[in-house]
Amino acid sequence: MSFLSSLNQDQKEAVGLLQVGTFLEYFDLMLYVHMAVLLNELFFPIADAKTASLLAAFAFCSTYVLRPFGALIFGYIGDNIGRKTTVIITTMMMAISCIIMATLPTYAQIGIAAAWLVTLCRIIQGLSSMGEIIGAEIYLTEITKPPVSYPVVGLIGCASRLGTMAALGVATLVTLHNFEWRNAFWIGAAIAVVGSVARTRLRETPDFVDMKKHLKKKIPALQTISDATSSHLLEKIYPSYQSKASWKTLLAFFLIYAGPPACLYFSYIYFSVFLKTIGYTSQTIITQNFLISIIEFLGMLTCVLLSYKIHPLKIIKSKAILFIPFIVSVPFIINSTSSSWQIFIIQTISVCFTLSPVPAVACLMRHFPVFKRFTYASFMYALSRAITHILSSFGLVYLTDFMGTWGLYFILIPVALGFLWGVRYFEKIEKKSQIEEETIKLGSKGENFID
């Protein structure tokens, strides 16, 4: 990782602390998701295969449906109080939810209250993870510059996948070696508390601090005039304060971030249910998903390292182009498949070509104004996750029940095409920004020459 040598000590410390925090957040978040085939039996009433699929979808979606509201809360905190405060709060929220999960009685002990309480914990974890990963990505985007920012911010995505992999590793221990699952949540809670304390060492980002200082100097002089005039003058003084992202930028961001949840559900949850319906045990399914998560992590890490030399938008566009013909062929392959190793190959290809903004996250974040960046990015991230998770989970349950494997087309192909459009849109505005920057540099050189 040669790009790390160009970072100063504070930047390296921030990268380390934020990666560890994101790893812990996603370990705690995904622990339940990937143990759902086991934990749903403990916290929900026993049901038939169809109802079990709906319960799995419900537990999966409960993590994401209220994220847009959390995005508004954390967006306000991140854009008005600071990026540092946000990542500390989110880590503490995850610690609290893990403590509750570790001590929560089962359905057999307290009845339906167990199902409601575990769903509440999943909602808290979803809100926490949303503010965590966006806060970490924005923080690193603002303290580094391209091309170093591409792999540095991309490592946050790798940390989230590593957390997922660790969660699946623990789930494998639970199912194969009778490891107490509650201990996993205790471990996650303990480390999350330590991570929160460690993050108090972070400094606020230069972009946010500079804008705050500038506004503090200008605002006192604006107090004696009307709000309308004040707002107009403030926009003149500091355009970034009042500037807004275009609807196309927001839509493109939304469509790109709709890719990961659809692929996550397809690659892991859909095939987990499929394997269970053809007679495979929870232990076999979790172990197979653990191996898939290792492959996904290695694939993402490779893309992140390549982004230092190859523009990240080209990387994610290439993956999307390869993903579309793969999805078109999937129903044909599944219909002639009956063994776990064949499903393993399909899952492997799926996670290698998965639709993901990593390692291009820094490119996307920089096209939002600084004082609206957290709000815009977190809200569109949360909204895309909430909508796509509902459509992909419940949608696939009913579509595949009615149409068989051909129902996959109605979710995954539109998501892939939307993702590809979003990437191409950001490529256009990225090129436009580069031209503007070059023009400014040439203008500065010309002025220096005249002087």
Transcribe 79-93 into DSSP letters.
Answer: HHT-HHHHHHHHHHH
Residue 155 has pLDDT above 50, yes or no: yes
Which residues, other chains included, contact 128 with Cβ-Cβ below 8 Å and sequence gap of 6+?
25, 29, 90, 91, 93, 94, 97
Which pLDDT value is given to residue 306?
A: 96
Rounded mean pLDDT of the chain?
A: 80
Phi, psi of 278 (to 5 degrees): -100, 15
Lowest mean pLDDT among 15-19, 39-43, 205-209, 328-332: 205-209
pLDDT in tens, 352-367: 999 999 999 999 999 9
From residue 259, alpha-carbon distances to 160, 353, 433 in Å are: 16, 11, 25
CB atoms within 10 A of CB 344: 17
- % of the chain with per-residue pLDDT over 90: 26
What is the rounded CA–CA span in Å between residue 324 and residue 420?
10
What is the rounded CA–CA span in Å between residue 451 and residue 438?
20
Which pLDDT value is given to residue 241?
A: 47
Amino acid at 415: V
Most confident of the ranges 2-6, 246-250, 281-285? 246-250
Predicted confidence band of residue 227 (pLDDT cuts 50, 70, 90)? very low
The domains found in the chain, sorted by start residue, are 8-442 (1.20.1250.20)
Residue 418 has pLDDT above 90, yes or no: yes
pTM of the model: 0.80
Direct distance between the N- and C-terminal alpha carbons of the chain, in angstroms, rounded to an integer: 42
Which residues, other chains included, contact 171 with Cβ-Cβ below 8 Å and sequence gap of 6+?
31, 34, 35, 38, 286, 290
Could you tell me which residue, 422 or 264, shows the higher pLDDT?
422
